Chains A and B, each alone.
Chain A
Amino acid sequence: MDEIFGIPIPLLFGQLLLGLINGAFYAMLSLGLAIIFGLLNIINFTHGAQFMMGAFVAWMLLSLGSADAARIGLALLLLPLVVLLLDWLWLKLRLAQPIRLGLGVFVSAAWIAACFLENGGPVARALGAMFPNGLSYWWALLIGPIVVGASGVLLERLMIAQLYKLDHLYGLLLTFGVGLIIEGIFRNEFGSSGLPYRIPPELSGAWDLGFMFMPVYRGWVVLAALILCLATWLVIEKTRLGAYLRAATERAELVQAFGINVPLMITLTYGAGVALAAVGGVLAAPIYSVNPQMGVNLIIVVFAVVVIGGMGSILGSILVGFGLGVVEGLTKVFWPEASATVIFVIMAIVLLTRPAGLFGRA
């Protein structure tokens, strides 16, 4: 017959596919978490907020010409990038550390104050004047990770780096707190009911697969996630840079003794992990509701994915991400009420039988 447990087979195929798509998001987000945990031993609870920031940057870029809040928001979010670039310049000019710090604080204060002037100040106005029609989805895909990644780099340099000497729980608490603050600020500024973001025209439309209607955009999400996951895995497992990173995880002092700038590498790794979250956010903007809670809902599941895959295991988080998406998708057909719980049931079982996770090293 063409039914399994009373569910028509075409419907089941559709659900498998949808599960795979959701799994793509899980994989992308848990990948960033796994990299950060594997190489920095930091449990990055800000990840959900950074995912959400990615989606908001996409909205801000698109609405540059039409919404004051978008212009001002983007102007403020550009600050970390500006500070980092200036700091790099000052470093090249061989300014002393205290002077760089002082200048950085000054520039930040002036920048923020300028954004609270009438009409959003010079930066926001310039952004609005330069891009009256906003910047498209494709620009967001490029700019979003850079802007959010820069904020991550700054967060790592200023705060997280202070905690490496302490127990890892401090890092967890810090990132958790920062995440709550970021979400609180966005909620205050943009409310909770979400912002409109449409699917880019190039990717709208759908394919009729016979057993279901497959939106082009969802196909693109899976493709993009697969490419990103594969590329990240290749970089870390197969390149020289990846080898340095893995070596620095094991014996940081020794790697440093070979003349490799380990702190810089760690900072950039954190930035890259955050950028991955932001890419996820931009990809999610057209299909999920762009609102400050969007990260909270996803991040708990993603943490479960990381635990099941094995903390810090990159391959584990990719495979488990896609796998759990499918499991969740099937649960939505057979027992919808349990679909939010099933992942945690699996997590409990995995923890009991294989405490290091499916792909982790005990």
Chain B
Amino acid sequence: MELSRRAWLGTAAVTTLSTALPRLTRAQGAANTVRIGVLTDMSGMYRDNTGPTAVACARQAAAEFGNRGFTVEVIEADHQNRPDVGANLARQWFDQGVDVVLDVPTSSVALAVNQVAREKNKVMLNSGAATSDLTGAQCSPNTIHWTYDTWMLARSNGGATVRAGGDTWFFITADYAFGHALERDTMNFVRQAGGRVLGNVRTPFPGTTDFSSFLVQAQASRAKVIGLANAGADTQTCVKQAAEFGLTRRGIRLASLLLFINDVHGLGLQTAQGLTCTETFYWDMNDQTRAFTRRIVARTPNNYPNMIHAGCYSATLHYLKAVAEMGVPAAKASGMEAVNRMKAMPTEDDAFGRGSVRADGRRIIPSFLFEVKAPAESRGPWDYLKLEQTTPAEEAFRPMAEGGCALVRS
């Protein structure tokens, strides 16, 4: 063997590192330009749930807002679901004059960027990440958590499942900030409703390709419900393999705590039917959401917008309205002031209707519990969900006093 092992291992290490080199779009322009950087997953498992469609939504919002005395520039970067990469990109962006970091899916990355935005006094409008800690223990005057969070998912989906008789749970949890938060919040609801948690298993993220072992463990616990505290491809694989191992046929319920319409598309209705999911936006809710969706799908023909995407649109629009009211120099000077102005104004747009932003940075809107349709019920492309239950805005999210956010106490 001519090739030395050291050289081969060394190269393997270098090649792995080289994939981590960030793709970076440079921000340049005049002082009268507001810069919005969409920091998202462009290449990993959350790409369709966030990614290019989130960028398209931010661009659509900027285009609809038009020119009201200042220009808007939307740039994008791939954080690769890695907190270090995300924090570095955000830092670089802020130093180069970016005013807002938008989307930031993957809770571990969001929590890291949250710190950077606060330190630099810029704005983070988070649509993609789930952890309720963003408006709880780690809340920040520079951050608004726009679209959904783990508490709201747990309340809607977890609560409904226990009421439907699923009172013993086993959790399959992605082993990072998001999974932990979703598991914690759902466990609380299960226990409050009189249910019991029989066990849990933490699965490595990313990098778990096979969940059968975890599903068999869940089955062995004799729990009636398996709570999937994961997302994207992980959830899809779990659902697929649960059907394969006959779990669903034996009467075990799968509680897909975070499931997007894009995941349903990936699974196919045949496999996904009967699953429940909680969203704050569905494209086929009313005339406004359908009109909004038509505008976005023109930009991303293969991917319909989900609540994260719609949140990017809505957050961008609301931020730009606040900037127009307070003036570009003031908005650029202090991210905290811009966020305060956003909190003072009610939100309104085609995707979500009316809403408001709370002092702790939580945007308040109704949440909807959907069930995935059977193939026969679906009347057209992407006609996947039917509404089961609506939680009004005031009840959908964690009460401010319970979150432990320092902004509220002071």
Confirm or deny: A104 has a beta carbon within 8 angstroms of a beta carbon on chain B.
no
Distance (whole angstroms) from the CB of A112 to the closest CB of chain B = 20
Interchain Cβ contacts within 8 Å, total number: 158
Chain B residues positioned under 8 Å from A167 (CB to CB): 3
Interface-located stretch among A85-93, A124-132, A256-264, A336-344: A336-344
Alpha-carbon gap, A10 to B220, bound state (A): 9
Determine whether the beta carbon of B246 is less than 8 Å from that of A206: yes
Minimum CB distance partner of A284 in chain B:
B209
Distance (whole angstroms) from the CB of A138 to the closest CB of chain B = 19
Determine whether the beta carbon of B19 is less than 8 Å from that of A287: no
Chain B residues positioned under 8 Å from A169 (CB to CB): 3, 7-8, 11
Q: Which of A192, A217, A300 contacts B48 (CB 8 A)?
A: A192
Alpha-carbon gap, A15 to B214, bound state (A): 9
Confirm or deny: B273 has a beta carbon within 8 angstroms of a beta carbon on chain A.
no
Q: 23 A-B contacts, Cβ less than 8 Å apart?
A: A18-B212, A41-B1, A43-B8, A168-B7, A169-B11, A172-B12, A173-B11, A176-B15, A187-B43, A191-B302, A192-B45, A192-B46, A193-B49, A206-B245, A212-B216, A213-B245, A289-B236, A289-B237, A297-B209, A336-B201, A336-B202, A339-B204, A341-B204
Distance (whole angstroms) from the CB of B128 to the closest CB of chain A = 14
Determine whether the beta carbon of A14 is less than 8 Å from that of B216: yes
Q: Mark B7-29, 1 if CB is under 8 A from A, else 0.
A: 11101100100010000000000
Chain A residues positioned under 8 Å from B268 (CB to CB): 196, 198
| Given A215-B245, A337-B202, A339-B204, A180-B11 contact (CB < 8 Å) | no
Determine whether the beta carbon of B47 is less than 8 Å from that of A193: yes
Q: Mark B198-218, 1 if CB is under 8 A from A, else 0.
A: 000111101111101110110
Question: 14 new A-B pairs (CB below 8 Å) besides A193-B266, A336-B202?
Answer: A18-B216, A41-B3, A43-B8, A168-B8, A173-B15, A184-B43, A191-B262, A192-B233, A193-B262, A193-B265, A215-B245, A288-B209, A288-B237, A340-B208
Determine whether the beta carbon of B216 is less than 8 Å from that of A194: no
Alpha-carbon gap, A10 to B266, bound state (A): 34
Determine whether the beta carbon of B48 is less than 8 Å from that of A191: yes
Chain B residues positioned under 8 Å from A361 (CB to CB): 1
Confirm or deny: B227 has a beta carbon within 8 angstroms of a beta carbon on chain A.
no
Determine whether the beta carbon of B12 is less than 8 Å from that of A303: yes
Confirm or deny: A145 has a beta carbon within 8 angstroms of a beta carbon on chain B.
no
Alpha-carbon gap, A338 to B237, bound state (A): 20
Alpha-carbon gap, A193 to B41, bound state (A): 12
Chain A interface residue count, Cβ-Cβ cutoff 8 angstroms: 62
Alpha-carbon gap, A18 to B9, bound state (A): 30
Alpha-carbon gap, A195 to B240, bound state (A): 12
Determine whether the beta carbon of A332 is less than 8 Å from that of B213: yes
| Given A303-B12, A329-B213, A337-B202, A291-B271 contact (CB < 8 Å) | no
Alpha-carbon gap, A215 to B237, bound state (A): 15
Q: Which of B213, B263, B270, B271 contacts A19 (CB 8 A)?
A: B213
Determine whether the beta carbon of A15 is less than 8 Å from that of B216: yes
Distance (whole angstroms) from the CB of B3 to the closest CB of chain A = 4
